[in-house]
Structure 1
Amino acid sequence: MRRMAIWVVIGLAAPTLAAANPGENWQGGYGHMMGGGGYGMLGGMVMMLVFWGIIIALIVFAVKWFNDNQDGNRGKRDALAILRERFASGEIDEEEFDSRRKALEK
């Protein structure tokens, strides 16, 4: 998973690293937007990588959290519901119901 995240970051950074140099007299001598002040090319690229890294990490964590909650809770509820149905229909007695319920709740 980490390797995939690293390749995604590299893929997002590649177009920025491959940008062409427009020359010294860009826009009639008023200076290049990224080189004439502020954070510069490197600072802008770092901020872009941080921004997209946070967005990707939030998406990954949200999907992981959603999947963990869905799978974990659904299985326990289904097993307990089946156990209650078996107890209600008389297939198992109270002692067996309690022991199996305790095993499922661990």
Structure 2
Amino acid sequence: MAKYSAVLDDVFVALADPTRRGVVRRLGEGPATVGELARAYPMALPSFMKHVRTLESAGLIRTAKTGRVRTCVLDRERLAVVEDWLAEQRHVWEQRTDRLEQFIGEEDS
């Protein structure tokens, strides 16, 4: 669990906001400019950029600036860290429910 700690904390904090989850969902379809992403949200561009910076600092997206246009790309490797952690948690809970089933089966016998 400690191997995920700081990275996982950053990712979950970034994903706690519905706007940022929406941006990640949209970038799952492919790269987009900040302007394209911002159009979907009723806020000023500087406020939207705070969301972009939060996602970027958590490692969920990468941005590149060409001229005046900043393009965002989803970093799928960072999402894999969350996926790995969730798989470990699922395994732990499945083992617990298996033991509970076994215990209940023994009690019924």
| Rg comparison, structure with higher value | 1
Q: Which has the higher helix share?
A: 1
TM-score (norm 1): 0.36
TM-score (norm 2): 0.35
Greater relative CO (CA pairs within 8 A, separation 6+): 2
Q: Which has the higher strand share?
A: 2
